[in-house]
């Protein structure tokens, strides 16, 4: 059989790590092929080899039956390989047309031929139902429209082999459905689609075949119609995974956090929060749903003291902490899992041990007066490594030695190890595999069941609906929906997330 892509016996090693170990991966033209695996399984490395970002140590690559050596992304593009990255590679201040033709601009008399560029974009847009205005500025687009622009960029460059890395990470259910319609249309045009994701429901919904990787090796190649979530999870992590979170009935206690008429601005000085009011009680998980970029980041930053409120108030256990420092809030019992573990959660140059005590190193028993108690620090950090199942030979290694899932467990251990009264968890399972997701969800539920309060901010609707006792929806800096957990469907939440529906202020309960 002739394949659009055939990678045979690919091996790629980094110092101390075999990222790809004799991997064979084949994709047919006209199919959507899912590539799944745990963090560190080697799937991204394999795709970086195909896209020319890495050179394999050994193995063979064929594109449309011809053996090739891909030195760089430019050569990959020339061979018809395009990649849509998880984080959009767009210039917000430029138009759709300018972004699409960037690097391959049609010219006329040494000037950009805008007419030719627009015609080419409109032709591709109409052929593949990628509706978008070529003259719109990228910053004016919705997240779903930005996704279309990224696909347009690849198609404009002639890609007939398309790699999509976590393409639904920031999409609503409606936008995901639209993306799947577009991908199926591309496959019907005999394009090969490689779909990298952690969301097994989406794998089953859109793919034709699935390749599963674990520890740098392929552990399974299955026809999608012949498999299910449980089998895929077993192939990924080597054991059964519990997908349904078991929760005891909610036992709501006293109010621990009250936010009243909160306002703030973003980094550009534009309104980010507008009259946001809600509360969190002990023994309760309050979920905040919404498409990213609608004020959730600014809300979490204000609640943790990382951004100033321009109006309104934040009360913790009845005390006004609106102007309190991040350290003061932590000392009062507020912990924070940040949405970006690499930027805000972990110091990669510090050891695992040092990262685990970053918030408490100055407090007894980890310190005596101005001196660190190194024995107690080692004892405490080792206990957290064991309790939170952080896979490492020793806590003396740098945090950079950890996989993504174990790095997230490190953050979880630091923020939950002291049993905080209130946990503010922002995107707690972003970029981690099904095994780590299961573990993190269990820890959050256990904290709630011990009578603590949790504010969960997540772009993953499955996560919000599975864990939350109460669900708030944010759109353009406002709370537009307020639901009891289990009383609303994903589709209904998606309409509120898109701004298509909204509750009247009187329907949103602040208490």
DSSP letter (8 states) at residue 332: H
- Do residues 188 and 269 share a domain? no
pTM: 0.73
Domain shared by 303 and 361, yes or no: yes
pLDDT in single tens digits along all 511 residues of the chain: 579 999 999 999 987 778 899 999 999 999 999 999 877 788 888 999 999 999 999 999 999 999 999 999 999 999 999 988 766 788 888 888 888 888 666 666 556 677 887 888 888 888 777 778 888 888 888 777 888 888 888 888 888 999 998 888 667 777 788 889 989 999 999 999 999 987 888 899 999 999 999 889 999 999 999 999 889 988 887 777 766 677 888 888 999 999 999 999 988 788 999 999 999 999 999 999 988 788 998 999 999 999 999 999 999 999 999 999 999 999 999 999 998 787 788 998 999 999 999 988 999 999 988 899 999 999 999 999 998 888 888 899 999 888 777 888 899 999 998 889 999 999 898 767 777 788 889 899 999 999 999 999 998 888 899 999 999 999 999 999 999 988 888 889 889 988 889 988 777 765 5
Instruction: Report how far residue 213's alpha carbon sits from residue 89's, in angstroms, rounded to the nearest whole number.
Output: 27
Query: How many residues are listed for the chain in this entry?
Result: 511
Question: Are 283 and 233 in a shared domain?
Answer: no
- pLDDT at res. 293: 80
Instruction: Specify the DSSP class assigned to residue 181.
Output: H
Residue 248 inside a domain? The answer is no
**What is the predicted pLDDT for the residue at 110?**
58
Establish if 68 belongs to a structural domain. yes
Boundary of a domain, candidates 237, 272, 295: 237
Q: Which residues contact 322 (CB under 8 A, 6 or more apart)?
A: 309, 312, 313, 314
- The residues, any chain, with a CB within 8 Å of residue 90's CB and separated by 6 or more, are 99, 138, 146, 149, 150
Q: Is residue 222 part of a domain?
A: yes
- Whether residues 131 and 259 share a domain: the answer is no
- Same structural domain, 265 and 228: no
Same domain, 259 and 177: no
Query: What 3-state DSSP class applies to 237?
Result: helix
In a domain, 31, yes or no: yes
Burial 299-338 (b: 16+ CB within 10 A, else e): bbbbbbbbbebeebebbbbeeebbebeeeebbeebbbbbb
Residue that finishes a domain, picked among 237, 265, 291: 237
The verdict on residue 232 lying in a domain is yes
76 with 203, same domain: the answer is yes
Q: 197 and 100 in one domain?
A: yes
d(CA 128, CA 120): 13
Domain that holds residue 123: 5-237
Q: 261 and 210: one domain?
A: no
Say which CATH number the domain at 71 has: 3.40.50.300
CA-angle at 65, arms to 61 and 70, nearest 5°: 35
Asked if the structure places residue 36 within a domain, the reply is: yes
- Count the domains in the chain: 2
Q: Is residue 249 part of a domain?
A: no
447 burial class (0-12, 13-18, 19+ CB within 10 angstroms)? buried
Answer whether 205's CB lies under 8 Å from 181's CB.
Answer: no
pLDDT at 351: 94
Neighbours of 223 (CB within 10 A): 10
Query: Nearest CA to 476 among 448, 498, 506, 444?
Result: 498
């Amino acid at each position: 059989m002739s394949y659009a892509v055939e990678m045979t016996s690919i091996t790629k090693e980094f110092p101390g790590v075999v990222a790809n170990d004799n991997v064979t991966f084949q994709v047919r033209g006209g199919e959507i092929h899912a590539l799944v695996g745990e963090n560190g399984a080697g799937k991204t490395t394999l795709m970086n080899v195909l896209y020319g970002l890495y050179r394999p140590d050994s193995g063979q690559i064929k594109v449309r039956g011809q053996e090739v050596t891909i030195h760089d992304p430019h050569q990959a593009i020339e061979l018809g390989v395009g990649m849509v990255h998880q984080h959009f590679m767009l210039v917000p201040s430029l138009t759709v047309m300018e972004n699409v033709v960037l690097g391959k601009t049609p010219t006329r008399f040494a000037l950009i031929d805008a007419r030719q560029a627009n015609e080419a974009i409109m032709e591709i847009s109409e052929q593949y139902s990628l509706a978008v205005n070529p003259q719109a500025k990228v910053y004016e687009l919705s997240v779903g429209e930005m996704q279309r622009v990224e696909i347009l960029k690849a198609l404009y460059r002639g890609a007939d082999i398309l790699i999509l890395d976590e393409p639904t990470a920031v999409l609503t259910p409606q936008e995901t459905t639209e993306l799947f319609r577009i991908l199926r249309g591309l496959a019907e045009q005999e394009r090969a689609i490689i779909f990298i994701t952690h969301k097994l429901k989406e794998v089953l919904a859109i793919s034709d075949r699935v390749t599963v990787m674990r520890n740098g090796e392929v552990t399974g190649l299955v026809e999608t119609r012949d498999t299910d979530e449980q089998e895929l999870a077993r192939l990924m992590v080597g054991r059964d995974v519990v997908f349904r979170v078991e929760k005891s009935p909610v036992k709501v206690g006293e109010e621990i956090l009250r936010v009243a008429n909160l306002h703030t601005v973003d980094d550009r000085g534009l309104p980010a929060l507008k009259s946001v009011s809600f509360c969190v009680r002990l023994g309760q998980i309050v979920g905040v749903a919404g498409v990213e970029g609608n004020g959730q980041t600014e809300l979490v930053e204000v609640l943790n003291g990382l951004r100033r409120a321009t109006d309104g108030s934040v009360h913790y256990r009845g005390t006004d902490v609106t102007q309190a420092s991040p350290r003061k809030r932590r000392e009062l019992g507020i912990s924070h899992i940040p949405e970006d573990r690499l930027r805000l959660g972990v110091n990669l140059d510090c050891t695992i041990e040092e990262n685990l005590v970053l918030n408490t190193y100055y407090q007894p028993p980890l310190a005596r007066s101005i001196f660190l108690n190194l024995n107690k620090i080692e004892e405490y950090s080792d206990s957290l490594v064991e309790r939170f199942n952080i896979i490492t030979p020793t806590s003396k290694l740098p945090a950079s030695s950890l996989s993504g899932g174990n790095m997230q467990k490190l953050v979880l251990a630091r923020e939950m190890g002291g049993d905080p009264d209130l946990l503010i968890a922002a995107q707690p399972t972003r970029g981690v595999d099904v095994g780590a997701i299961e573990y993190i969800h269990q820890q959050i539920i256990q904290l709630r069941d011990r009578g603590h309060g949790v504010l969960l901010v997540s772009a993953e609707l499955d996560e919000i609906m599975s864990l939350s006792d109460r669900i708030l929806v944010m759109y353009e800096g406002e709370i537009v929906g307020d639901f009891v957990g289990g009383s609303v469907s994903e589709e209904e939440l998606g309409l509120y997330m898109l701004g298509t529906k909204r509750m009247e202020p009187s329907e949103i309960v602040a208490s």
